[in-house]
Structures are given as C-alpha cells and as structure tokens.
Amino acid sequence: MHDSRSSIRSRRRLVRKTALAATAALAAGLVVYVPSVSAAPAAPAGEPTDIKTVSSGWTIPWGTSWLPDGKSALVTERDDFRVWSISADGATKKQVGTVPESQTTGGEGGLMGVAVDPQWATNHYVYVMHTSSEGNRVARMTYDGSSLSGYTVLLKGIKKARYHNGGRLAFGPDGYLYATTGDAQSKPLAQDKNSLNGKILRMTRDGKPAPGNPFDNYVYSLGHRNPQGIAFDPQGRLWEAELGDATRDELNLIKPGKNYGWPTCEGNCNVSGMTNPKKTWGVAEASPSGVAIVDGAVYMAALKGQRMWRIPINADNENVGTAKAFYVGQYGRLRSVTTVPGAKALWLSTTNADGNGGQPDGADKIFRVTIG
C-alpha cells in the first residue's frame, strides 16, 4: 500500500513539473511537444426533429426563393407558370403574376427555378428559368412586393426536351447568378464546352457571361446529365445534386472548369479529366431535385426515392459523412428544399401532382422542417 501511494505521489509531482516546464517554455516563445491524444469526435450536426405543413393546395411547386428580409418567399408552379408569394408562417398566399412566353414540354419542362436578387430591396429584380417556344430561358422580372412585371429575356438558346431541362437558379456569394441546364436528352451536348446544355452556367445580373468563367463563355462546369439542385455552403463552396440515368445519382462538389463525367461516366469512374462525385445513390432511392444546406449538412430532396437525404459535410475538407434518409415514403415525391433565413429549418415541397405521383392538381404541400 505504501509503495502504491508513493508511486501516485511521484506521478503527481511529475505532472506538475511537466506543466510548469510547458508554461515556462510557452512564456519564452518556445514550441512545446505534447504527445498526441485522440480528440473527441466532433458533435454531429443537428437532424430533423419536427415537420409540419406550412401550406397546401399547390400543383407542382417547383422553385422557392426567399426575399432577403425572410418574411416571405416566392414559389413557382411548373405547369401553369404562376408565381406566388407566401408568408413565412404560411398564413398568407397570394399569386403575384405569371411568367410570359412559358410552355410545358409534356414532361419536366415549364416554369422551374426562381431566384430573388440579394439586392432586391434596391433593384427589385427576380430571376426565373422557364421553357419557351425555342428552348429554355433565363429571364428577369421586377417584383415590387405585390406583383411581377417587366419580363426581360437574359439568356435564350438553351435546348429543351421533354426531359432533362435542369432548371435551378441560385445566387452565389460572388454576386453572380448560377443556372443548371440538362443535356436535353442529347448526351454529347454535356461534353461540348460551346453548348449551354449539360452545364452549370454563371452569369451577371444582366445576363452576360460572368467575368472569370473558365472557358470565356457562360459555362462554369460541364459533364452534367440533369442537375436540379445547387446550394452554397458557409465556406462558399457549390454543391450540386444530379439525376443519373439507370444506375447512379450524384452529389457533386462543383469547381470551375471541372468535368463531371456525363455521358462518359455515371457515378464514379477512373477516366482522366473527369471529377468524381462526393456521394452516389441508386436511382430508386434518390432521383434528386433540390438541395439546401443547414447546420453542417446538405439536405437533398428525392423524387422517385420519396425521401429527404441528409449528408454531413466538413468545413475543413471535402469529405462527406454517412447519408441518412428521412420521411421515406411518407410524403411522396419531394422536389424543392430551401433553407429558411435566420433559422435552423427548411421548407420542403412535394410534387405529387406531376403525373408520376398519381395525385390530382392541388394535392401538393410545402412543409417546414425543424433541424434540432
């Protein structure tokens, strides 16, 4: 017993001496070697804790974009080209206009993405992506807080097809507008740097190619089949969700000038010059549309998969964590997922009235998901 107590006292004296020596060395500006200790794993980001209906009576609500004050959002309906304003609590829903010269394609085309200008308070600009007679367009309108007007075409000539029209819009932290385009069911277009299809495009508020684009045109990245989700994380990185063909859907980390493989690759491949996705899924469990980022994770809405995926991302590196599915089969086809300003929450919309969901017009809903 005496030897044991003596040993404990000796260890304590050694710890105190080591601590004092380290303190003195730090004070002298010296580097102290401390034996490595396994750090506790970082606490996981919150997961969805609650879901409630914000608004009902919708028919294919495709795109959602919040006004900068966070008090209301604009929502597009794909097949009838209507744009609505809805309050944050869902209590007020008002049609503010329609988008001129819009057409459907009998499939996935129509009025798709919407993006409110971050400087809306001063310029009142709102941007939409829609199908028209000659192809898909990016257009700008003026929204004065009650109605839309002043339709102006910014970019046209994006080929359309029944399917694979892309359609998502988002402003980046650089102040430029990003747009996703599908391959319009013509695979070679995705690899053609001079084509607007199968790409992520980057442009100014006036519809010109953004300065610094990698190929001196609109193209920011290429090799995409049907990208329908884009979102920027707090580090300014661009994440994209993409519908695959028959085998793999993708979550990509987008970098300027990179080639994401389609149609050479679907999912991962080892072809030189191609950039692999950060995560893939079988098409039956995903078929992704919108994405949003909250509290250290990408949230991805799935159409055929009828679920919302949560994929943890790391602020310090490009690794992603284990994907986890929520609401599997509970609400049907999930189209748009959007971060609620100033809150750890999402808006999540269904498109069960799109012909694949088997539900009538007016059956779609918008939910608010709380992230705990």
Mean pLDDT of 74-100: 98
How many domains is the chain partitioned into structurally? 1
pLDDT score of 360:
98
**Quick check: 278 and 320 in contact, CB under 8 A?**
yes
Of 289, 370, 287, which Cα lies nearest the Cα of 336? Answer: 289
In a domain, 5, yes or no: no
pLDDT for the residue numbered 121: 97
Encode 310-343: b = buried (16+ Cβ within 10 Å), e = exposed: bbbbeeeeeebeebebbbeeebbbbbbbbbbeee
Average pLDDT over residues 154-174: 98
Do 170 and 115 form a contact (C-beta atoms < 8 A)?
yes
pLDDT score for 45: 58
Cβ atoms of 290 and 229 within 8 Å: the answer is yes
In a domain, 365, yes or no: no
pLDDT band at 2 (very low <50, low <70, confident <90, very high): very low
Kindly provide the b/e burial profile for residues 345-361, where b requires at least 16 CB atoms within 10 angstroms of the residue's own CB: bbbbbbbbbbeebebee
Query: Cα-atom radius of gyration of the chain, to the nearest Å?
Result: 24
Residue 156 has pLDDT above 90, yes or no: yes
Question: Residue 327: inside a domain, yes or no?
Answer: no
CB count, 10 Å around CB of 101? 15
**Would 104 be classed as within a structural domain?**
yes
Lowest mean pLDDT among 16-30, 166-180, 351-365: 16-30
Rounded-to-integer distance, Cα 188 and Cα 262, Å = 9
Q: What is the pLDDT of residues 122-148, one digit of tens each?
A: 999 999 999 999 999 999 999 999 999
Q: What is the mean pLDDT of residues 238-264?
A: 98
Report the distance separating Cα 300 and Cα 292, nearest Å: 7
Residue 325 within a domain: no
Q: Are 85 and 72 in contact (CB under 8 A)?
A: yes
The tokens of 295 are what? 């509290």
Task: Give me the mean pLDDT over the 1-24 stretch.
Answer: 42
Specify the pLDDT at position 27. Answer: 38
Give the pLDDT score at 291: 98
Range of the domain at 164: 62-291
Mean pLDDT, the chain, whole residue set: 91
Total-model pTM: 0.88
Domain CATH number, residue 236: 2.120.10.30
pLDDT of res. 349: 98
pLDDT recorded at residue 44: 53
Closest by CA position to 142, among listed 152, 132, 134, 133: 152
- By C-alpha distance, which of 165, 171, 239 is closest to 205? 171
User: Per residue in 289-327, pLDDT tens?
Assistant: 999 999 999 999 999 999 999 999 999 999 999 999 999
Q: How far apart are CA 311 and CA 300, in angstroms?
A: 8
Residue 44 lies in a domain: no
Contact 190, 198 (CB under 8 A): yes
Quick: pLDDT tens for 204-221. 999 999 999 999 999 999
pLDDT over 70 at 231, yes or no: yes
Total H helices, total E strands in the chain? 2, 24
Is 287 part of any domain?
yes
Residue 3 vs residue 167, higher pLDDT: 167
pLDDT confidence of residue 25: 39
Flag whether pLDDT at 105 surpasses 60. yes
Report yes or no on 334 lying in a domain. Answer: no
